[in-house]
Structure 1
Amino acid sequence: MNYTLHQLEIFLKTAQLQSVTKASESLYLTQPAVSIQLKKFQEQFKIPLFEVVGRKIYITEFGEEIAVAAENILNEVKAINYKALSYQGKLAGKLKVAIVSTAKYVMPYFLADFMNENKGVDLIMDVTNKAEVVSALENNEVDFAMVSTIPTNLKINRIELMQNKLFLVAGRNYKFKGKYLSYSEFKKLPLIYREQGSATRLAMEKFIDSRKISTYKKMELKSNEALKQAVISGLGCSIMPLIGIKNAIANGELQIIPVKELPITTNWNLIWLSSKNLSNIAKSLIEHIETNKEVIIDRHFNWLGKY
């Protein structure tokens, strides 16, 4: 047998995603390139690794065993590379971060320079809702988490990064009278919520409940992007983080509806367990962010001051 590490990587990614299309996107390859390498890899085995039914690919039992072996081999290769870089005095290894979905508009900017300066660091960033982010941190599955609401049940250390402002927004065709939308008019709005466990949902409910506003819940959606598109289409209104709707506001797809006591202002925080035995990579990232935080904010987020 004469298969390559490249073929192992392609087969493993295809097995994990069960899709040639998704594997090619994940590996930044064309679909034909992935298909060719899968064919060459399969030719080295007399037993089928996968079968195609319709347009869907299914991994066989034998294929699943090969996928496990491939993952082990690739992990060992990464370990060798990490050790080689470590002996050269460079940072090497994995950095695991869990972030709430709206933080995807923020966290990459705080990581970009650090990752570019440390080529031996592999970033694994999970984007999910607040409940799952906190769970990953509590179970020591990640080095850091980025949230706008600090979990009260955990002993954590944190770096306060920047403000997070949430406004009431509507599609371009919504019309209202006066300087501010009254609470009586607010009650009539068909509101679209994020799912339970979302920090945006929590902030929105806290604002509405504290003012005893009886509202009409139109629907709930599981991602900030889906929520944004629903509001743009005119399905309803929502209270959303400004950070994720900059372009939609700039091109007129969304409009901010002025309401007294809005925006809601929270803060983005990078957090980690106080008891966490931090790796050299984690310690270096903390130092990098503490040193460069203000420069990063000024370079990438100074537009927030206009709102």
Structure 2
Amino acid sequence: MDARHLSFRLLQVFRQVAESGNITAASRLLHLTQPTVSLQLKKLSEIIGEPLFDYQQQRLQLTASGELLYQAVLDIDERLSEFNQQLHQQRRGDAGTISLAVVNTAQYLLPQLLADFSRDYPRVVINLQIGNRAHILNRFAQQQDHLYLFSHPPGGENVKAKAVVANPLYLVAPPGHWASRQSGLSFGMLQEERFILREPGSATRMTFDSWLSSQATEIKYSMQMESNEAIRLSVMAGLGVALLSAHTLQGQQHLLSVLEVSGFPLLSHWYLVRHSNKRLPQAAVKLGSFIEQQLALWQDPLQAERNARPGSQNPATTG
């Protein structure tokens, strides 16, 4: 059998004849003439290379080969029905596959958010890519993903970016650090400390370098790491002080000393980004809307703790 000569129309005619038991009834249901149906059956039999029907008791009966073909046609129709249903779900955004790429720090935002989305849309598969800024920028340039989360979005006319959540950056020190016992610190009081920094080009590093430049100041001692988690653990171990996102610290702030330094936290935002030339499937549109809605509800737990203290004031507005 040469399957290339088969067509859905031939199989449709065959199934209707098999289920009707005669050509006249099948012709009427298919809105075809009897000679046309007969010619279609003859053509199909020639393609299969076997007779498909026997005429018994004034009714067409399937041969053994016809029975095998009938079962195959039922399987094909069932798969096409499933495909049509899945296609409808995909068009509505209830099913499909999405690629979401985020820079390292954003991974702290996502677990609960994606879990909630998956409960609402269990048939949507989300492939999550995590990397440093340079890696995610490269993916963006190649349009490898549908949506991106950046704390410092790329530039260019093809960038569609929207701020979706605040990303305050706090100075943190090891537990029991001398600066943790003081309030109203100036940054100059920390200049003899070793600062553990993200790599050049990371959004946190760019924000910090920009702030240092605006204050016409610098740090004397530093070391560099490419992971927020490594920085957090290094600060806990007493290796130095660091600038970390509130999202990185969420739920872990009791393991560190969040310093009350004039001018801090530095204020920045996370941005939901997409490439204007990349078509978004409906499921990705729904995920983007879900991310916006959920992150709009986020509140900084570190600032809430500070505000709850008697006589507290916002350190970002002092000095």
Work out whether residues 129 and 197 of structure 1, in 8 Å CA contact, stay in contact via their aligned partners in 2.
Answer: no
Cα distance change on mapping 1:201 and 1:229 into 2, 3 Å: same
Cα distance change on mapping 1:171 and 1:242 into 2, 3 Å: same
Tell me the equivalent position of 1:120: 123
Query: 1:85 & 1:191 partners in 2: Cα distance?
Result: 56
Cα distance change on mapping 1:222 and 1:228 into 2, 3 Å: same
Cα distance change on mapping 1:159 and 1:108 into 2, 3 Å: farther
- Trace 1:188-227 onto structure 2 (pairs within 5 A): 188-227=192-231
Query: 1:85 & 1:222 partners in 2: Cα distance?
Result: 45
Choose the corresponding residue for 1:270, options 260, 265, 272.
272
RMSD after superposition:
2.6
Q: Deviations over 1:249-305 (max 9, x none)?
A: 22xx21111222111111111110122211122122234345x33xx553x646355
Instruction: Classify the secondary structure of the residue corresponding to 1:169.
Output: strand
Query: 1:249 & 1:302 partners in 2: Cα distance?
Result: 12
Q: Deviations over 1:17-64 (max 9, x none)?
A: xxxxxxxxxxxxxxxxxxxxxxxxxxxxxxxxxxxxxxxxxxxxxxxx
Give TM-score, length-normalised by structure 1.
0.65
Tell me the equivalent position of 2:33: none
Tell me the equivalent position of 1:99: 102
**Which one has a bigger Cα radius of gyration?**
2
Tell me the equivalent position of 1:151: 154
Q: Deviations over 1:143-167 (max 9, x none)?
A: 1110111212353223322110001
Instruction: Classify the secondary structure of the residue corresponding to 1:89.
Output: helix
Instruction: Classify the secondary structure of the residue corresponding to 2:172.
Output: strand
Work out whether residues 147 and 288 of structure 2, in 8 Å CA contact, stay in contact via their aligned partners in 1.
Answer: no
Question: 5+ unaligned residues in a row in structure 2: which ranges?
Answer: 1-79, 307-319
Instruction: Classify the secondary structure of the residue corresponding to 2:278.
Output: coil
Work out whether residues 165 and 266 of structure 1, in 8 Å CA contact, stay in contact via their aligned partners in 2.
Answer: yes
Choose the corresponding residue for 1:288, options 272, 287, 290.
290
Query: 1:218 & 1:165 partners in 2: Cα distance?
Result: 21
Query: 1:152 & 1:135 partners in 2: Cα distance?
Result: 13
Work out whether residues 146 and 269 of structure 1, in 8 Å CA contact, stay in contact via their aligned partners in 2.
Answer: yes
Query: 1:109 & 1:223 partners in 2: Cα distance?
Result: 21
Tell me the amino acid that sits aligned with residue 114 of structure 2. L
Tell me the amino acid that sits aligned with residue 86 of structure 2. S
Query: 1:209 & 1:287 partners in 2: Cα distance?
Result: 36
Instruction: Classify the secondary structure of the residue corresponding to 2:167.
Output: strand
Query: 1:233 & 1:210 partners in 2: Cα distance?
Result: 31
Tell me the equivalent position of 2:301: 303
Query: 1:173 & 1:201 partners in 2: Cα distance?
Result: 25
Work out whether residues 194 and 200 of structure 1, in 8 Å CA contact, stay in contact via their aligned partners in 2.
Answer: yes
Query: Aligned-pair distance for 1:224?
Result: 0.6
- Trace 1:169-188 onto structure 2 (pairs within 5 A): 169-176=172-179, 178-188=182-192
Question: 5+ unaligned residues in a row in structure 1: which ranges?
Answer: 1-79
Tell me the equivalent position of 1:279: 281
Query: 2:107 & 2:141 partners in 1: Cα distance?
Result: 21
Query: 1:242 & 1:181 partners in 2: Cα distance?
Result: 19
Cα distance change on mapping 1:87 and 1:141 into 2, 3 Å: closer
Tell me the amino acid that sits aligned with residue 202 of structure 2. S
- Between the aligned residues of both structures, percent identity stands at 25
Work out whether residues 193 and 217 of structure 1, in 8 Å CA contact, stay in contact via their aligned partners in 2.
Answer: no
Choose the corresponding residue for 2:245, options 222, 241, 244.
241
Query: 1:264 & 1:173 partners in 2: Cα distance?
Result: 23
Query: 1:154 & 1:227 partners in 2: Cα distance?
Result: 34
Work out whether residues 154 and 273 of structure 1, in 8 Å CA contact, stay in contact via their aligned partners in 2.
Answer: no
Tell me the amino acid that sits aligned with residue 89 of structure 2. G
Tell me the amino acid that sits aligned with residue 181 of structure 1. L
Query: 2:177 & 2:119 partners in 1: Cα distance?
Result: 44
Work out whether residues 85 and 120 of structure 1, in 8 Å CA contact, stay in contact via their aligned partners in 2.
Answer: no
Query: Aligned-pair distance for 1:107?
Result: 2.9
Cα distance change on mapping 1:120 and 1:145 into 2, 3 Å: same
Give TM-score, length-normalised by structure 2.
0.63
Work out whether residues 96 and 125 of structure 1, in 8 Å CA contact, stay in contact via their aligned partners in 2.
Answer: yes
